[in-house]
A and B are shown apart, each in its own frame.
Chain A
Amino acid sequence: MGPTDRSREAKALRRGAGSGSSRRAFLLATAALLVTGKGVSARVVTKVLPWRPNEAYPVTPVVPGGYLFFTANEAAVVEAFAERLIPADELGPGARQAGVTTFIDRQLTGPYGGHDWLYMEGPFAQNPLPTQGLQSELTPRQQYRNGIAALEAYCKSSFSRSFTELDAGEQDKLIAGLEKGEVQLPNFSGKMLFTAIHTNTVEGFFADPIYGGNRDMVGWKLVGFPGTRYDFRDVIDRPNQAYTLPPVSMQGRPAWGER
């Protein structure tokens, strides 16, 4: 179903909200669409589940290098921000070395960046309950583009410097202010920007390296996550003993040999 179908449906839904007959018409229309639409005919499966040789749905691995969505300055701001959230320290590399900025950049380029699979037509609650989920018409791409511009404008007016030129202490204080909603950015919710970068940084640090972040599985090594393993029968009966197998990603690990 294309975006046009979706918005048409959404309009029909809004129109039908107050009237029983038009809601019925909408439901009938939807049913008709399901019946006549291509590729929706039910498939009967008997005896054995379908299986085809060579069937696989591989992810196209992210190739690091350059940015597809961010400008150079936006990337520098995001990288500096993320590095304060997960800094390199005695426990290991931080967000910068893990490739978190590349991860976020590629995610924003794809369907996540446009919230392609979310209902984005509104209405949006002004003071939503936490259970109401996303209540903004801004896609992640817009959140980053507008939010970083607002952050930079704020830094220019308050510090006469870019966010990237603040020292670590100043950055931490500013980030904490954004998180608590105490810093007011011009025309943009500081809390929304914080939430976006914070959420995506954590994702980029711990997602499979095939998506561009978690380089060399640094995130998994930090917390002792074994990666794409899914069978622990050999160790399940040995509690309180160290799990010694190294993490493995969707593309394997160095011991598998050159790719």
Chain B
Amino acid sequence: MSTITTRLRHLILLLPLLVAGGAAAGPDNHVDIARGKALVIAGDCIACHTAPRGERFAGGLALQTPFGQIMAPNITPDNTTGIGSWSADDFARAMQEGRRPDGAYLYPAFPYPYYTKVARGDLDAIYAYLRTLQPVENRVDRDTLPFPFNIRLLMKGWNTLFFTPGPFKPDSARSAEFNRGAYLVEGLGHCGACHTPFNSFGASRNDKYLEGNQIDNWTAPNITNDARAGLGKWSADDIVQYLKTGQNGFSLASGPMKDVVENSTSKMPASDLKAIAVYLKERGAAGPPASTPLLASDPRMQAGEAIFVDTCAACHMRSGDGVAHLFPKLAGSAVATQQDPATLVRIIVAGGRAAATDGAPTSPAMPSLGYRLTDSQVADVVTYVRNSWGNAAAPVTEETVKALRARVTGAAAGD
């Protein structure tokens, strides 16, 4: 084929476009925007960047950290109060380096130590999608931390110690599916931001990656492949079902994970969920050594059993087996036997609600029993659940319940 014919063909192909001229096709980045939207869902950006009853992505949610309160910013393309004036490079720098366009340091409550792994092409797609949002004027106070944490330059030192910038590097020894899962979990999904313990500087501990943490008075359980504390008993399909519908034969998502499932994972493509499951199953296992269950003759176990039989067994069954799709199984439950008992205690005191998804729309709820049980009674029944039907975990004290009750009830607890 001669060069002339090729050129002619191009010309002919261009003609209809020229004729149609002025139809304002806009930037031809539909694919980017659709992909960006999917990535924003996978990153669950809306969870932090939307205030309760606030405009979507317009910021204003107060994130509680051990160092004080941080208000999540407005990420709509509003020029003055949002990120309307940011370029794609500015956006990529914030995501990969934790820096604002003016160079100021962002706090790692914004999980840039995870987002740094996201590929530039994906960041540009996210940016393209965020540009399509309706700009919302909502000024968020971005300087709410107390002294000395209000000095953003401190984060320079923090980054030196705890932040390893750089994109995700696939492991060539692993399958493409594993690497896709790793890319999602370690990057945009930022699963470790909740499921990995912090050190005293609020950084995720790499030596305890995904081994569980307490976050916002909920237990973010161990999600390594550990048979006792982690996902070891779950198949890859169980994980997919949980992320897609919010429940499986082992557990129902509640608390912050309810929001993650409802806003994010239930809307992700099945292939990505499968990749996440494969990664979590194949990555490895780590957890605390098994403990010995308390003796049934222990007075705490005796009181706990009486309370369980009278108060809990009607739904969760005397055998602790629960009822599929409705009442979580407690026998063999990894959540029930985490080192941190926060979820168990708070669900009894304040009640709880499971995720509602298209796949499992019921959203069963547990009533609050805090009015009926004293701190010591809650401690005893939790201790009983943690040490029955093959479960084994440290007993819970009245003081633990008292402290948690103060945090999850009353005006400060919110909803």
A contacts, CB < 8 Å to B: 47-49, 51-56, 58, 228-231, 233-234, 245, 248, 250-253, 255-259
Q: Which residues of A contact B365 (CB under 8 A)?
A: 49, 51
CB of B363 closer than 8 Å to a CB of A: yes
Q: Which residues of A contact B413 (CB under 8 A)?
A: 53-54
Q: Is the CB of A252 within 8 A of B409?
A: no
B contacts, CB < 8 Å to A: 302-303, 306-307, 309-310, 313-315, 317-318, 349-353, 356, 361, 363, 365, 367-374, 376-377, 380, 408-409, 413, 415
Q: Is the CB of A53 within 8 A of B310?
A: no
Complex Cα distance, B349 from A200, in Å, reads 35
Q: Is the CB of A229 within 8 A of B314?
A: yes
Q: Which residues of B contact A53 (CB under 8 A)?
A: 350-352, 368, 408, 413, 415
User: Could you pull out 7 A-B pairs where Cβ atoms are within 8 angstroms?
Assistant: A48-B363, A58-B371, A229-B310, A248-B310, A257-B303, A257-B377, A258-B376
Count: A-B pairs, CB below 8 Å: 75
Complex Cα distance, B317 from A49, in Å, reads 24
Q: Considering the complex of A and B, which 8 residue pairs feature the smallest CB-CB distances, nearest first?
A: A231-B314, A255-B306, A58-B371, A53-B350, A56-B371, A248-B310, A257-B303, A48-B363
Task: Choose among A48, A228, A234 the residue that contacts B356 (Cβ–Cβ < 8 A).
Answer: A48
Q: Is the CB of A47 within 8 A of B361?
A: yes
Task: Choose among B313, B370, B374 the residue that contacts A56 (Cβ–Cβ < 8 A).
Answer: B370
Task: Choose among B318, B350, B353, B372 the residue that contacts A234 (Cβ–Cβ < 8 A).
Answer: B318
Q: Is the CB of A256 within 8 A of B371?
A: no
Q: Is the CB of B309 within 8 A of A245?
A: yes
Q: Is the CB of B372 within 8 A of A255?
A: no
B336: min CB distance to chain A, Å = 19
Residue of chain A at shortest CB distance from B374: A259
Task: Choose among A228, A229, A257 the residue that contacts B376 (Cβ–Cβ < 8 A).
Answer: A257
Residue of chain A at shortest CB distance from B350: A53
Q: Is the CB of A255 within 8 A of B351?
A: no
Known: A54-B368, A55-B368, A231-B314. A255 touches B350 (CB 8 A): no
Known: A58-B372, A253-B306. A52 touches B356 (CB 8 A): no
Residue of chain B at shortest CB distance from A231: B314
Q: Which residues of A contact B409 (CB under 8 A)?
A: 54
Complex Cα distance, B413 from A163, in Å, reads 57
Complex Cα distance, B319 from A234, in Å, reads 10
Q: Which residues of A contact B380 (CB under 8 A)?
A: 256-257
Task: Choose among B302, B361, B363 the residue that contacts A255 (Cβ–Cβ < 8 A).
Answer: B302
Complex Cα distance, B405 from A53, in Å, reads 12
Q: Which residues of A contact B310 (CB under 8 A)?
A: 228-229, 248, 252-253, 256
Q: Which residues of B contact A54 (CB under 8 A)?
A: 349-351, 368, 370, 408-409, 413
Q: Which residues of B contact A256 (CB under 8 A)?
A: 303, 306-307, 310, 377, 380
B339: min CB distance to chain A, Å = 24
Complex Cα distance, B351 from A64, in Å, reads 31
Complex Cα distance, B407 from A53, in Å, reads 12
Complex Cα distance, B318 from A253, in Å, reads 18
Residue of chain A at shortest CB distance from B314: A231
Complex Cα distance, B91 from A38, in Å, reads 49
Q: Which residues of A contact B306 (CB under 8 A)?
A: 253, 255-256
Given contacts A53-B351, A248-B310, A258-B374, could you give 8 more A-B pairs where the C-beta distance is less than 8 Å? A54-B409, A55-B367, A56-B371, A253-B306, A255-B303, A256-B380, A257-B303, A257-B374
Complex Cα distance, B314 from A230, in Å, reads 7
Task: Choose among A52, A229, A252, A253 the residue that contacts B415 (Cβ–Cβ < 8 A).
Answer: A52
